[in-house]
Structure 1
Amino acid sequence: MANRQEKHLQRRETSSAVVPQEDESLRAAKAAKSVPSRRKKPRRDLKQLEDSATRHVGKFLGSRFESLRRARRRVVLWLVLIAVILLGIIAQIFIRRDATTATGGTGGTYIEGALGPIETLNPLFATSSAELSASQLMFSSLYHYDAKGSLHTDVATSLAYNEASKTYTAQLRDDVRWHDGHKLTAKDVVFTINLIKNPAVRSPLRVNWVDVQAKAVNDTTVQFVLPATYAAFPHALTFPILPEHMLGSATPSSMRQAPFNHSPVGSGPFKFQILQSTNNARRPKTVHVVAFDGYYGGRPKLDRFELQAYSTQQDIVSALQAGELSGATDLSVVMRKDIPRNQYTTTTVPTDRGVYLLMNNTNPILKDRAVRKALQLGTNTAAIRTSLGEGVQRLDGPFIPSQLGGINTPSADKPDRAKAAAMLDEAGWKLADGSKVRSKDGQKLEIMITTTKGAEYEAVLAKVMEQWQQLGVAVTQQVIDRSATSSTFVQGTLQGRSYDVLLYELAIGADPDVYAYWHSSQTGYQGYNFVNYTSRTADAALASARTRLEPKLRAAKYKAFAEQWYSDVPAIGLYRSASVYATGPGVQAIQQGDTLVSGADRYADVLRWTVTTRDVYKTP
């Protein structure tokens, strides 16, 4: 029973299970027919979406890559363009550098330092470097010196002389104006000469004009009558011309107190503006001048010029170290090392002046020619020049050798200490055993060398003393401060010949006429023959040379004089004076290779001085 029930149940389960299975299968079959259609559609949609996305991504990336390619091309093109521009600029710089040159620009103020003092601006009384410099800036002359030391016309256009060579006729320009607008004429020239000649005026220029007569033939012609032929007369025409309409009413005796002296009217390239003083002793007195638009030589490039007068060379150097100056003059060669090289350029310019050991020929010891000759042989001038530094030229004679037109001029004997010692022995000045000082008849060979205070001269003095002591000479020194109020150097030492040996500078000038220094007629208190040298041979050569107009004949006469001078040894030439000029950056002023007759002649090219620069194209 149980088994039948189980079978019956199994049949029921089986039958009941088959029917539903068939229904489900049918449904599955039906579903199988419908599912593919439903599944294919999403797949097609996905495929379409995928394809669409791919197309859009492709287009997007492609457009971006294309943009990048185009941008890259543009960047490359810009870089190439920039490179071409830069290359062009660089090429232009090199081309411009080769095709242009720097030149001075116009305008600006030049500030220059010079040695003072400035007590007057009247050129007839100028003595200090600053006073002489101010005169050159504000006044003109008949003749002037160029940057090479040669004489050229200025207000004068020509100079003629008659057969006797005693009458000179100068023709003047007719376009010269005083700074107040008045016309400069021949009457102004004659007026100036008469002032110079008048003893009441007390001008230091008087010695050159005492015996010369001048008259105005007309407004543009001046005639000079000389007492004798004088070959160097054209050089005397470098005196500054004064305005008669400003000073004609002043008495000669009051000329030194005239208001004109502190507010001058000139006819030079610069016009006076103001004289600036200060209560501070350490601050310089300054002359302010401005460019004169009506200057006959053309307007200066500079607008203004300030000339500052300092008491000492060290004061000038201090101003340079502080960067206060455009340029500076009156600097000794030994001061060159103190000038800041990163701020200033220095130029050593020779002048027509010489530094000498002037030996007093009336001194009991030095009146012996043998002693003077021994001292010359014992002086190594080359060593002295070397100690001063580069740019110091040789000068061992009475004038500049080149002034004689290339003639074979004599020169001093070379230093020879052994020969010098032998000459002193022969002259009776001998060294006793164990003694360092020579003596003769119980008298020691003692010599005092006098000079003026200053770094250069004191350095030279030390060298000379060392060299002479090696000869057995007892050398002492005397250094005089000329700036001291109690100084009597000119009246006592110089004019009174109160010295054994004087280390001093002589102004030779552009002409070899040194008559005033070495002719025997110039000895004495008022003369310039400071060593009291006398020689008939030298006198004859000097007197004859100054009356000869033929250059070769003049040179032959001066050669004869030089030979006698070297033989007699009235002095020992040490070196040619030189001036160190400092200029700041961008400044164009005095040039290397220039030669000055005197320091104030540095303004020969002042019309072209500048404090600014600009580039200009070179002329083919």
Structure 2
Amino acid sequence: MLKRKDAGLAPARRRIRNLKLNKDIVLSPLSARIPAARKPKGRWKHFLKVLSAKEKLVFFLLLISSACSLIYLARSFYIKNTVEIASEGGIFIEASVGQPRFLNPVYANSDPDRDLTELVFSGLMKYDKNMKIIPDLAESYPSVENGERTYIFKIRQDALWHDGEKVTADDIVFTVKTIQNPAIKSPYLANWVGVLAEKVDDYTVKFILQKPYAAFLENCALKIIPKHIWEEISSESFAFQSYNLEEAVGSGLYRIKKVERNNEKVESVLLEKNPKFYGDKPYISAIKFLFFSSQEEAERAAEKGKANGFSSDSPKEGWTETAVFLPRYFAVFFNSANSGILKDPKIRQALAYGTDKSAFKKPASSPLLPEFYGFDIPSEYEYNLEMAQKLAEEMGYKDEDGNGIRELTIEKEPSFSFKSRLSSGSQGNEVRELQRCLGIEETGYFGEQTKIAVNQFQEKYSEEILAPAGYSSPTGSVGPSTREKLNEICFSKLGETKELKITLATVDQPGMKRIAETLKSQWAKIGLNLEISAYPISQLEQDIIRSRNYEALLFGEVLGAIPDPFPFWHSSQKNDPGLNLSSYENKKVDELLEDARKSSDEAERKEKLEDFQEIIIQDIPAIFLYSPESLYLTSNVKGISDKKAVNSSKRFLDVEEWYIKTKRAFK
């Protein structure tokens, strides 16, 4: 058999070709000679075969690391090029103190009522977070005519009630006239006295004032009620309708979803987003209020995770705090008409000098809250204990017995004194008084027995009666020196001791009682005894404040977005239902307040009110103590910011910006 010359080399060549084939499979691009369906499988099969166990481990670690790096780079790119934004959804739960009764702007006057009303209803105007008054149901600011006595509003035509009916001028006029009806007994009646509300057309309303009032625009932040719901309900039954809570119909951002009761006590109120709201829609889908009987209970519920928001007087660890700055102040009001001591300006000055306001957070300097509104800060009585004590001393109040309380001794003229010369044979009332003084039978006739008693009296006080007149023995008659001594002993001037003391009335609440005790401690250093009488708020308002039955009152007052101190300091307001708690009267102050009320010129109003402020500081009808802010504590809620507000319910004025859920969006 013939053999090729290279036949002996065939096995070796085949091995070389196979090795080269494996290398080509691993290192070269996919070969067209490998069937398409089998290429990847074959490649990875051969690739893994040529790797040792250690190399396989390294390969897979590198593969995993590369995948992780790719994911990280992709996520980094996504995070870098996107931002977290608010998203719709979530439920906000607030722990609230008190009981809701009137989810109705005509009546709402308690914190729970005002909170719910703020979310469920809307008004012609509203407040922004800087307490500026801006349009709400109104399309724009009103046109003002007739010497600033006529306000004309155009109403937006896309506003709907929660039941789908349109909000019209009829609703605005009906709301105002309802409040003006005395039978309704609305707490807001005073704001609308003398105002005529007229419908011009379906979406235009006119208000006519008896005289210009610069703060009227703030009155127009009143929330509106629907006429088609309430017009057939009588005044007598107005306050007893289910429309006041469970079936309330408003036009605000949220609407009533559910009210839960337990034995007539409201346990919770659930509000849901109003899909028909005409303005910016809120992110949060629902707001639930849980009601508790005390602040302590509300805070305990929040700490247990049952709520993610509540109001508080102080910060709490783990909670985000938001400040609500309110135009309110607490003061001691001196009712001089009901206190002899406080009528004296020097006593009021002593108390002003003796009050250390550094003991209070955010001290107040005047009834205008100049730091809040931007008025000039007045010069006030700085704390000066030495001056306070000096003024008390000058008034005659001294601590004679060393018990720390000053007293004033007031001498009174005696009801009777001897004025005539009396001797044997005299008779009448003076003789009878003489006999009473000497301790003998009162006959009214100067006889022998009376003469003997006079002689004995003269002998007893001979150095003061006989010797100065040159007598060595009794005369038996009542002359000038004897009369003087008789008057001194029997009818001396009476001394009445009057303690430096005043009684302070206040609310029976822990915070107010702490303030009262602080004042008691500070004023004790002057030598004044402060007696504290604390009453439940209803009793204080009905029995004490309305009748002005107090010497001094520790209480608070609230101004508006446009400061108007007229209700608190004009003399026309010194009796109920006015709020002049000091019964203060000053003609110049009355003029300044009247002029400021009428003027729409901000510079002129500022000048008038600052002049008013200076007079109040000098007259001291009250000592202004502090202006507290309200703290709102939340958890897992964003978009809430500090704000100025006329009352604590206005913490919700930017609720459409609050959010719980988030999402990311590309920049």
TM-score (norm 2): 0.76
Residues 160 and 167 in structure 2, CA contact (< 8 A), matched pair in contact too? yes
Residues 197 and 205 in structure 2, CA contact (< 8 A), matched pair in contact too? yes
Aligned: 1:197 with 2:197 = no
Q: Of residues 268, 274, 289 in structure 2, which corresponds to 1:286?
A: 268
> Is the partner of 1:537 in helix, strand or coil?
helix
Tell me the C-alpha RMSD between the 2 structures: 2.3
In 2, distance between residues paired with 1:251 and 1:117? 25
Residues 101 and 615 in structure 1, CA contact (< 8 A), matched pair in contact too? yes
- Any residues of structure 2 matched to 1:166-565 within 5 Å, and which? 166-262=149-245, 263-279=247-263, 285-329=267-311, 331-333=312-314, 336=315, 339=316, 341-342=317-318, 344-362=319-337, 363-385=339-361, 393-402=362-371, 404=373, 406-432=374-400, 434-441=402-409, 442-482=497-537, 487-565=538-616
> Is the partner of 2:290 in helix, strand or coil?
strand
> Is the partner of 1:253 in helix, strand or coil?
coil
Residue ranges of structure 2 left out of the alignment (5+ in a row): 1-45, 410-496
Deviation at 1:403, TM superposition (A): 5.7
In 2, distance between residues paired with 1:447 and 1:99? 69
> Is the partner of 1:124 in helix, strand or coil?
coil
Deviation at 1:224, TM superposition (A): 0.6
In 2, distance between residues paired with 1:223 and 1:186? 9
In 2, distance between residues paired with 1:379 and 1:541? 28
In 2, distance between residues paired with 1:612 and 1:543? 51
In structure 2, relative to structure 1, the CA distance for the partners of 1:109 and 1:568 (3 Å cut) is same
> Is the partner of 2:326 in helix, strand or coil?
strand
- Choose 503-512 or 229-238, whichever is displaced more: 503-512
> Is the partner of 1:112 in helix, strand or coil?
strand
Deviation at 1:412, TM superposition (A): 2.2
Residues 371 and 377 in structure 2, CA contact (< 8 A), matched pair in contact too? no
Residues 155 and 169 in structure 2, CA contact (< 8 A), matched pair in contact too? yes
In 2, distance between residues paired with 1:496 and 1:285? 36
- Choose 530-539 or 183-192, whichever is displaced more: 530-539
In structure 2, relative to structure 1, the CA distance for the partners of 1:88 and 1:597 (3 Å cut) is farther
Aligned: 1:141 with 2:141 = no
In 2, distance between residues paired with 1:192 and 1:532? 33
Deviation at 1:407, TM superposition (A): 4.5
> Is the partner of 2:262 in helix, strand or coil?
coil
Q: Of residues 607, 610, 615 in structure 1, which corresponds to 2:659?
A: 610
Residue number in structure 1 paired with 2:649? 600
Deviation at 1:432, TM superposition (A): 2.6
- Choose 413-422 or 219-228, whichever is displaced more: 413-422
> Is the partner of 2:520 in helix, strand or coil?
helix
Deviation at 1:508, TM superposition (A): 1.3
In structure 2, relative to structure 1, the CA distance for the partners of 1:402 and 1:89 (3 Å cut) is farther
Deviation at 1:134, TM superposition (A): 0.9
Deviation at 1:146, TM superposition (A): 1.4
Question: Residue type of the partner of 1:509?
Answer: G
Q: Of residues 630, 637, 641 in structure 2, which corresponds to 1:587?
A: 637
Residues 325 and 630 in structure 2, CA contact (< 8 A), matched pair in contact too? yes
> Is the partner of 1:504 in helix, strand or coil?
strand
In 2, distance between residues paired with 1:425 and 1:117? 51
Residues 118 and 285 in structure 1, CA contact (< 8 A), matched pair in contact too? no
Deviation at 1:357, TM superposition (A): 1.6
> Is the partner of 1:379 in helix, strand or coil?
coil
In 2, distance between residues paired with 1:480 and 1:96? 62
Residues 153 and 205 in structure 2, CA contact (< 8 A), matched pair in contact too? yes
Q: Deviations over 1:16-46 (max 9, x none)?
A: xxxxxxxxxxxxxxxxxxxxxxxxxxxxxxx
Residues 403 and 510 in structure 1, CA contact (< 8 A), matched pair in contact too? no
Residues 111 and 325 in structure 1, CA contact (< 8 A), matched pair in contact too? yes
In 1, distance between residues paired with 2:143 and 2:395? 54
In structure 2, relative to structure 1, the CA distance for the partners of 1:95 and 1:249 (3 Å cut) is same
Q: Deviations over 1:334-370 (max 9, x none)?
A: xx4xx4x23x323332212111122222221112222
Deviation at 1:554, TM superposition (A): 0.6
- Choose 267-276 or 428-437, whichever is displaced more: 428-437
**Aligned-pair identity (%):** 29
Q: How many residues align?
A: 532
In structure 2, relative to structure 1, the CA distance for the partners of 1:102 and 1:421 (3 Å cut) is farther
In 2, distance between residues paired with 1:531 and 1:616? 59
Deviation at 1:222, TM superposition (A): 0.8
Deviation at 1:99, TM superposition (A): 4.8
Residues 574 and 583 in structure 2, CA contact (< 8 A), matched pair in contact too? yes
- Any residues of structure 2 matched to 1:95-106 within 5 Å, and which? 99-106=81-88
> Is the partner of 1:489 in helix, strand or coil?
helix
In 2, distance between residues paired with 1:274 and 1:69? 70
In structure 2, relative to structure 1, the CA distance for the partners of 1:446 and 1:178 (3 Å cut) is same
Q: Deviations over 1:511-549 (max 9, x none)?
A: 111100011100112211111111112111111111111
TM-score (norm 1): 0.81
> Is the partner of 2:154 in helix, strand or coil?
strand
In 1, distance between residues paired with 2:60 and 2:322? 52
In 2, distance between residues paired with 1:165 and 1:562? 26
Question: Residue type of the partner of 1:596?
Answer: A
Question: Residue type of the partner of 2:320?
Answer: T
Aligned: 1:126 with 2:177 = no
In 1, distance between residues paired with 2:344 and 2:262? 53
> Is the partner of 1:394 in helix, strand or coil?
coil
- Any residues of structure 2 matched to 1:82-93 within 5 Å, and which? 82-90=64-72
Residues 581 and 590 in structure 1, CA contact (< 8 A), matched pair in contact too? no
In 1, distance between residues paired with 2:534 and 2:505? 6
In structure 2, relative to structure 1, the CA distance for the partners of 1:461 and 1:215 (3 Å cut) is same
Q: Deviations over 1:480-501 (max 9, x none)?
A: 233xxxx522111121222222
Question: Residue type of the partner of 2:313?
Answer: S
Q: Deviations over 1:451-504 (max 9, x none)?
A: 21323222222222111111111112122233xxxx522111121222222221
- Any residues of structure 2 matched to 1:108-119 within 5 Å, and which? 108-119=90-101
Residues 447 and 475 in structure 1, CA contact (< 8 A), matched pair in contact too? yes
Q: Of residues 623, 629, 647 in structure 2, which corresponds to 1:578?
A: 629
Question: Residue type of the partner of 1:345?
Answer: T
> Is the partner of 2:557 in helix, strand or coil?
strand
Deviation at 1:280, TM superposition (A): 9.1
In structure 2, relative to structure 1, the CA distance for the partners of 1:116 and 1:235 (3 Å cut) is same
In 2, distance between residues paired with 1:276 and 1:248? 28
Residues 403 and 512 in structure 1, CA contact (< 8 A), matched pair in contact too? no
> Is the partner of 1:479 in helix, strand or coil?
strand
Deviation at 1:306, TM superposition (A): 1.2
In structure 2, relative to structure 1, the CA distance for the partners of 1:289 and 1:86 (3 Å cut) is same
Deviation at 1:590, TM superposition (A): 3.2
Deviation at 1:151, TM superposition (A): 1.3
